[in-house]
Amino acid sequence: MSADYYPTFALDDIANLHESAQVEFKLAGGRDGNGMLPEGMWESYSAFANTLGGEIILGVKEQQGEFTIEGIINPMPMLSEIWAILHDPKKISHNILAPTDVQIIEIMAKKLIRIHVPCVDVKLRPIYVGTDPYSGTYFRVGDADMHASREQVEQMSLKAGIDLKLKQLKQ
């Protein structure tokens, strides 16, 4: 992939932070403010994997279209949880991340978690949340994660050479 394929963005340019087809921000503050994985993160993981790939940045707050870097007080337990979920086939169909794809980064003296989700080859699609590809497959349209229709899931599976009916019978 060329460097042009994934546009870069600067997290420290607060005035120009925005979500896009390849960037998703999540607060990940949790009730106590110490950090917790946001539920919608896994839909973004599926969407990026099934579309063009992208970056999920945890620790950024959105309020009325404005983004602020809040940070995560203790990101280490979240990293452990991310890897545990990625290795659990009941939660995510495939772990497509390498160790270098999940990083703690520091911006403005605040810790964030950066997750680089690569675009997967059509032979691995669909990447989905949970055990049901029909209810857990997403794709990215603009700055939104969209639920894939049954027809779209079947189309991805055909391209991958996967018989979903047979796969579901085995589960």
Contact 121, 159 (CB under 8 A): no
pLDDT of residue 11: 55
Q: What is the mean pLDDT of residues 86-100?
A: 96
Alpha-carbon torsion, ordered 54, 85, 30, 65, to 10 deg: 20
Please give the model's pTM, rounded to 2 decimal places. Answer: 0.85
Distance, in Å, from the CA atom of 115 to the CA atom of 54, rounded to the nearest integer, reads 8
Per-residue exposure over 105-121, b if at least 16 CB sit within 10 Å of its own CB, e if not:
eebeebbbbbbbbbbbe
102-135 pLDDT tens trace: 999 998 899 999 999 999 998 899 999 999 999 9
